[in-house]
Amino acid sequence: METLTTVTTNWIELTHELGKKFAERASANDSSGEFVYENYADLKEHRYFSALVPKELGGDEVSHTQMCDMLRILGYYCGSTALALSMHQHLVSAAVWKYKHKGEGAPMLTKVADQQLVLVSTGARDWLDSNGEMTRVDGGYLFTARKSFASQSIAGNVAVTSGPFQEEDGTWKVLHFSVPFSSEGVSVANDWDVMGMRATGSHSIVFNQVYIPETSVALARPRNEFHPVWNLVIGVAMPLIMSVYVGIAERAQDIAIAIGKKYHRNQKHLPYILGKMKNSLMSAQAQWRAMYAITNNFEFGLHKQNSADMLCYKTNVSDAAIETVSLAMEAVGGQGFYRKNELERLFRDVQASPFHPLPRWDQMQFAGEQLLNPVK
């Protein structure tokens, strides 16, 4: 196998190799709820955190499409590791798009490559309105907020976040900025005790009167209004995130088939369940491919219609992945209810898929409004 000592890394082969190691640790990490520290150490050793970074900035310039496939493979072996990593990769992807199209972001990407920094998104709490409080002080702002669902926050180096700020004339803006976890007033709450994706370390980040220099503010946008920045975020993030759930669904199908081959004589209806499961999985796979086709390896425009389509696909992939794993559970019967069966963990992990932005009804409203009032 090619290694990092050779000219080119075979990323797909390497991801399978690491994934098999991660699979051996997955049950224990899920049971304890402990973050996948060992897996992250392996990923850092092999420079996964800078894989997307352009070569001239110190990375390997893996394509967005290939990163989606790498996350799908990791999802097959360990959903928590894959989902945590996807959150870092979508922030890097947004920076790569800006670098390629606007010539911006080179210093940050170089730091990621040099130091294998872990970037943490607080996007689940940063939609149109954002949350928290910002007070203007000399040279910047004081920021107070609690940002939940921050995957890999327990192992993060830099939080990419936002907060609302009211101008003197009463208008509200949302300011976007990055905050090192080493900053005074930043802490991570120990509150990630959940049903699935238990080892993602998605604890809340607590910001208590954290000083944000004016120079750290990368964007100021109107509050509660859709801004073109979301076309970028949605365009790069959603294919990466949903890659994880496609991988989980593929693993569930393989388990159902392996067990079914042993017990099919006792279940005359088993071929029908497996056939329906295959239909669901193919739906998830096909629409996932349509997602990263929109991103087109960073060659896409920041159009609202792209975002509306991407979010429709996201909901459909989520539904199909959940159905695939549910049918796999039906195929193996009651044994799938035991925690010793890997399917039980996959079933819990896949339930997280609808909660990524935008949740179902928000997504459908967004898509419907775009149909009624098309905006390019």
Q: Where does CATH 1.10.540.10 sit in the chain?
A: 11-117
The DSSP code for 243 is H
Average pLDDT over residues 13-30: 98
Four-CA torsion 291, 22, 5, 71, nearest 10 degrees:
0
pLDDT tens-digit series, residues 203-237: 999 999 999 999 999 999 999 999 999 999 999 99
Secondary-structure breakdown of the chain: helix, strand, coil percentages, each rounded to the nearest 5 = 60, 15, 30
pLDDT at residue 1 above 50? Answer: no
* Integer CA distances (angstroms), 71 to 12, 86, 179, 346, 357, in order: 10, 7, 26, 16, 18
Distance, in Å, from the CA atom of 74 to the CA atom of 17, rounded to the nearest integer, reads: 10
Residue 291 gets the label, from left (phi > 0), alpha (psi -120 to 50) or beta, of alpha
Domain with CATH 2.40.110.10 in the chain: 123-222
Task: Kindly state the percentage of the chain with pLDDT values over 70.
Answer: 97
- Taking the C-alpha atoms of residue 234 and residue 226, their distance in angstroms, rounded to an integer, is 12
Confidence at 349, pLDDT banded by 50, 70, 90: very high
Residue 21 burial by Cβ neighbours in a 10 Å radius (0-12, 13-18, 19+): middle
User: What pLDDT digit, counting tens, does each position of 167-179 carry?
Assistant: 999 999 999 999 9
Q: What is the CATH number of domain 11-117?
A: 1.10.540.10
> pLDDT for 43-85, tens place per residue?
999 999 999 999 999 999 999 999 999 999 999 999 999 999 9
DSSP state of 109: H
Measured CA to CA, the distance from residue 336 to residue 69 in angstroms comes to 27
DSSP 316-339: HHHHHHHHHHHHHHHHHGGGGGST
Complete edge-to-edge strand list for the sheet that includes strand 119-121:
119-121, 158-166, 172-180, 217-222
Tokens in use for 138? 């000399």
Angle between helices 11-32 and 342-350 (to 10 degrees): 90
Residue-wise pLDDT tens digits, 285-317: 999 999 999 999 999 999 999 999 999 999 999
Q: Does 1 or 231 have the greater pLDDT score?
A: 231
| Averaged pLDDT, 79-101 | 98
Average confidence score pLDDT of the chain: 95
d(CA 197, CA 231): 27
Predicted local confidence at residue 38, as pLDDT: 98
pLDDT band at 7 (very low <50, low <70, confident <90, very high): very low
* pLDDT for residue 256: 95
Residues 114-125, mean pLDDT to the nearest whole number: 91
pLDDT exceeds 50 at position 2: no
Give the integer Cα–Cα distance in Å for 110 and 267. Answer: 57
Dihedral (C-alpha) 238, 155, 200, 31: value to the nearest 10 degrees? 170
The pLDDT-based confidence of 35 (bands split at 50, 70, 90) is very high
For CATH 1.20.140.10, list the domain ranges present in the chain: 229-372
Q: Which residues pair with 206 in a beta bridge?
A: 146, 187
pLDDT of residue 8: 59
pLDDT at 308: 97
Bond prior to 240 in cis (omega within 30° of 0): no
> CA-CA distance, 75 to 92, in Å (whole number)?
19
Query: Crossing angle of helices 79-102/64-77, nearest 10°?
Result: 170
The class level of CATH for 123-222 reads mainly beta
Domain 229-372 has CATH 1.20.20.10: no
User: Percent of the chain beyond pLDDT 90?
Assistant: 91
Q: What is the pLDDT of residue 125?
A: 73
